Structure 1
């Protein structure tokens, strides 16, 4: 069965949860841990008379159980509640940054990571505007300066980035970078080839090449995430707008994106 056929088959059960504010709120609240009836009344701002029939339905569906006057999610309840929570977070993230997503080439994000886009909900979009014509660039350089380790996917290269990376490598910071073919070709030219030659003996620096084009720019450190994308047509890399976050879930998402691309990359040495 495809997704639509599954939805039609489960229509009544799905609609029962999503159409009922109380069912949704109780599942989401129990997803954060067990609750007593009094706590559920407080969270949902409802009476016991309204809540108890809903609790009985969830028990009948084997989504919750009771123990010592507290309500818990069952194992299947955890799966359902987590799925509901993920769907709301995804919608929230899409809506919160809708102009960012609409103006950029989302195909640059691998499908498995795109499905987890809700992890970026605690982020902010920074732009170059007015007197802050290098706002995105300067924030990224600050990230590099403050990091204790750095993972990066570079769709562009600049002298400023190269200088910052070189400096941090020499300070002993662990750095791993992935570059597409067109950036690798730039790195074979001056002044980058000389900078790379000076880093050859440093074991804390790894440079990897992806033969396929990468339509994303990523810096992820122990403290922050920076995500840049290509503009809508997928031709021009957007250096003027970036998504930034210091939230742990966003950082972990960035790490997963890096490791996904690393699995497709080859270690390389430039002459």
Structure 2
């Protein structure tokens, strides 16, 4: 008979006091987080934590006894096991920070289309900002996205909407030789069959640096990720209306990498290759 796996709560309840103490003690947590960055001397740990050596030494001894840290030439280091624990603690705080920092953005938008592995890494977005259309800045989000496209050396995109401005900007960069890969949802693909987009696409059919892919479902995510910046738009809470007036932007490398992983995840679900798209364009008149 297969043994039932324990959930997180059951594991926590079975943890001994030594393991739980790391999560209860400010000093133990601060020591681990500090050493997660680099090795430290006792004097440095005192300065970073704002504590005395008398307060720190018992905590250091405890972490040594648990084989999470070790000393060498009067410096404290994380052991391999300590690095795993410290990294996990650091990640959990970063995730909480990102959730709390942008809590209104998350609460007002539909997150269900973001795959679970990427939701678990949402802390990568903590060095971002939320831009909104308001007052005189009625096209703030849109204009920032066009600027991103203009400055990029490569462009990956997931499109839930299409406008002539986006189409013209992308077309211009393709003709300049910039690599561009776009994923479109079903309803956007239908729009691209109509004027003026059908002719705009036809002009790009000979460019090998342009790839257009289709997902056989409606993607409830809008993404532009370049070598320099990330832009993320979502549907509103009900998952019906796309929010073009609010977006998350970042130039942080971790956020850009997160956006790339989202793009590659969606790309893995496409079935519309560049070759097929080019053959389709060859049937477009004019």
| Match among 135, 138, 141 for residue 136 of structure 1 | 141
3-state DSSP class of the match of 2:112? helix
Separation of aligned partners in 1, 2:260 and 2:169: 20
Kindly indicate whether the alpha-carbon contact (under 8 Å) linking 1:228 and 1:238 is maintained by their aligned counterparts in 2.
Answer: yes
Query: For residues 88-111 of structure 1, what are the alpha-carbon distances to aligned partners after superposition, in whole Å with 9 as ceiling and x for unaligned?
Result: 011111110010000000112111
Closer, same or farther: CA 218–11 of 1 in aligned 2, 3 Å: farther
Alpha-carbon offset, residue 181 of structure 1: 1.2
Aligned twin of 1:181:
186
CA apart distance, 1:165: 0.3
8 Å contact from structure 1 (residues 123, 246) kept in 2: yes
Q: Contact 1:108 / 1:229 at 8 angstroms: preserved in 2?
A: no
Separation in 2, partners of 1:35, 1:182: 56
Partners in 2 of 1:246 and 1:255 — Cα distance? 13
Question: Which piece of structure 1 moves more, 142-151 or 209-218?
Answer: 209-218
1:226 aligns with 2:212: no
Which among 3, 7, 23 is matched to residue 2 of structure 1? Answer: 7
2:212 maps to 1:207: yes
Structure 1 residues 188 and 4, CA gap change in structure 2 (3 angstroms): same
Q: 1-side partners of 2:31 and 2:156: how far apart?
A: 39
Query: 1:22-77: per-residue Cα shift (whole Å, max 9, x none)?
Result: 10000000000111111111101111111011011111111111111111111111
Whether the 8 Å CA contact 1:245–1:251 is kept in 2: the answer is yes
Which whole-Å CA distance do the structure 1 matches of 2:205 and 2:68 have between them? 57
Deviation at 1:13, TM superposition (A): 3.8
| Secondary structure at 1:227 match in 2 | strand
**TM-score, normalization by structure 1:** 0.98
SS where residue 177 of structure 1 aligns? strand
Find the counterpart in structure 2 of residue 190 from structure 1.
195
Give TM-score scaled by structure 2 length: 0.93
Runs of 4+ in 1 over 6 A off after TM superposition: none
* CA offsets 1:233-260 (integer angstroms, 9 cap, x no match): 0000000000000011100110111111
How many residues are aligned here? 271
1:79 to 75, 81, 84: 84
**Is 1:70–2:75 an aligned residue pair?**
yes
- State the Cα RMSD in Å: 1.0
Structure 2 residues not aligned, in runs of 5+:
1-5, 282-286
Distance 1:197 1:225, change over 3 A: same
Residues 251-262 of structure 1 aligned to structure 2 (within 5 Å): 251-262=256-267
* Partner of residue 55, structure 1: 60
